[in-house]
Amino acid sequence: MKMNDMVIISVDDHISEPPDMFKKHLSGDDLASAPQFIVAENGTSFWEYQGMKMPSVGLNAVVGRPLDEYGMEPTALEQLRAGCFDVKARIGDMNVNGIAASLNFGSFPGFDGGRFHKAPDKAKSLVHLRAYNDWHIDEWCGAYPGRFIPCAILPTWDIKATVEELKRISAKGCTTVSINENPTVQGLPSIHNEYWEPFWKAVTDLDITICLHIGAGNPAPHASMETPIEAWITTMPMSISTGAADWLNLSALQRYPKLKIALSEGGIGWIPYFLERADFSHSRHQFWTNSRMNFREDKPSDVFKRHFMTCFIDDAFGLKNLDSLNEDLVSYECDYPHSDSLWPEVPERLFDTLKHLSDAQVDKITHGNAMRFFRFDMFKHHPREALTVGALRAQAKADGVDVTPKSSGGAAPLAEGEKPRIITSGDLMRMFSHHAKAA
């Protein structure tokens, strides 16, 4: 297979929501009380909702910026590539990057809709969460059928409303939802509690995939405020292992053998040892932990390879050890517009790491597995030949998509005039706190 013949789906990208997103989906008091996009006197943009302020709306939306300007900036939409918040521009950025289709997580509501969970008036939260889903499914994804995998958020503080919303978004053609991998941080029962039984049944009956995105419930830990920030960044993908182990021991996986879980933005290189360790632990401890009640005759690795989709951005080690994974449950992610994204050079980097695999394996990992797992048939809308890397890049060239790095002059994490030094976790925490106060 040649690079330009690849068809690529990204199962993890992000949106910086546009200011007018609720206008077509709400009216009257519902619109007036919806999350509001505010621009402060200093030019900083933020969302405000039920007394909460969500600053740095463009947090980490640094794609297309010079590498030496990466950081917790920018803080205003004007500093971003338009593809972060404008769907037409997003399609252009996907085309120039050879991305046929994309699954997008939100920003201001949180990957899991956590902002709506924190809001005190849950009746309003439910109205606005549903409007968010309508915007995401009908307006963002609906603008270009076959180019986006819709991913809804849920009012899991109310399990009855959650089931109702699952049925509603399923009827709209949405086959994927994102929830918190550790709902106890939201004040809800753990995933091992009977509270979730109606949810397991509904997602299974409706054949909906559950996405668990890193950082929502089990944030990546950093050793101290003086820890170099790159140490923290290095461990971020692997932080999903805490949630993965918890979900792997979920008894519902035995009751609902068709339950589907995607570990979003977690990488794959760590998984072979994770599975080896899970099997070893089970073999040594099952007799006193009674974990056999969860796994029955299976090994933990068997359960993982049946239920969990994994994805990677740049993971040559994981791909070299594909035989230790289930190659039918490995997929690709671009992570646009975050700082790990390889935009606009994804095809070059991806093709280099896949070159030792067969054409059939390449097709699985680049798009086939994602299409099956998320029940997403982009070929109903577009012929395959129109979605190859070569075809999309030709379209981007014809449309004049500009990939020239865009400098926005974002603030550095050090104080003005401070002598250069290693940036620490504390520097980034203080910068974020500063922008929160400014908002």
Kindly state the average pLDDT of the residues 78-87.
Answer: 92
Q: pTM to 2 decimals?
A: 0.96
Which tens digits make up the pLDDT trace of 333-383? 999 999 899 999 999 999 999 999 999 999 999 999 999 999 999 999 999
3-state helix, strand, coil in the chain (%, to 5): 45, 10, 40
CA distance 248 to 212: 13
Q: According to the model, what pLDDT value does residue 318 have? A: 97
Cα angle 342, 416, 55 (rounded to 5 degrees) comes to 55
Residue 167 has pLDDT above 60, yes or no: yes
Q: According to the model, what pLDDT value does residue 259 have? A: 98
Tell how strand 152-153 and strand 176-178 pair up. parallel
Kindly state the average pLDDT of the residues 227-239.
Answer: 90
Which tens digits make up the pLDDT trace of 319-345? 999 999 999 999 999 999 998 999 999
**What is the average pLDDT value for the chain, to the nearest integer?**
93
CA distance 425 to 439: 21
- The three-class DSSP label of residue 46 is strand
Return the structure tokens found at 356. Answer: 């030792």
Structural domains present in the chain: 3-273+306-438 (3.20.20.140)
Q: How confident is the model at residue 56 (pLDDT cuts 50, 70, 90)?
A: low
Read off the DSSP letter of residue 342: -
Q: According to the model, what pLDDT value does residue 267 have? A: 97
CA distance 294 to 275: 16
Residue identified by tokens 């619109």 is 31
Kindly state the average pLDDT of the residues 306-314.
Answer: 98
| Buried b or exposed e, range 53-88, using 16+ CB within 10 angstroms | ebbbbbbbbbbbbeeebebbbbbbbebbbbbbbbbe
Whole-angstrom Cα Rg for the chain = 21
SS (HEC) of 208-262: CEEEEECCCCCCCCCCCCCCEHHHHHHHCHHHHHHHHHHHHCCCHHHHCCCCCEE
Q: How confident is the model at residue 439 (pLDDT cuts 50, 70, 90)?
A: very low
Which tens digits make up the pLDDT trace of 208-220? 999 999 988 998 8
Strand partners, 263: 212
346 with 8: CB under 8 angstroms? Answer: yes
Q: According to the model, what pLDDT value does residue 432 have? A: 65
Q: According to the model, what pLDDT value does residue 66 have? A: 84
Q: Give me the half-sphere count of Cα atoms (radius 13 Å) on the Cβ side of residue 223.
A: 9
Residue 44 has pLDDT above 90, yes or no: no
Tell how strand 209-213 and strand 261-264 pair up. parallel
Residue 58 has pLDDT above 80, yes or no: no
